[in-house]
Amino acid sequence: MEIAQIIDRIGVVELSKRLGCTKQCVSHWRTGRNRIPAEYAVKIEEVSLGIIKRYELRPDLWELNIQKSASNG
């Protein structure tokens, strides 16, 4: 699932309240205008109940951790 789908399900206003950010931030993430900050990627994973993963939102930040986990498994 992509961030736009989560935002559409929850709603811009409700998601901004749950995350503690502005509606404008959420709208910009939805359109791809701005990249989701790492701390919000974690919160979005929590708000979506794990449906969307932080590494899906910001693979540039968590890709190395996923590779390490896979090699340790």
Ordered domains of the chain (ranges, CATH): 3-72 (1.10.260.40)
Q: Which residue has the higher pLDDT, 73 or 12?
A: 12
pLDDT digits (tens, 9 = 90+) for 4-50: 998 999 999 999 999 999 999 999 999 999 999 999 999 999 999 99
Residue pair 4/30 in contact (Cβ under 8 Å)? The answer is yes
Burial of residue 44 (number of CB atoms within 10 Å: 0-12, 13-18, 19+): buried
Burial of residue 26 (number of CB atoms within 10 Å: 0-12, 13-18, 19+): buried
DSSP assignment of 1-33 equals --HHHHHHHH-HHHHHHHHTS-HHHHHHHHHTS
Can you give the pTM of this predicted structure?
0.78
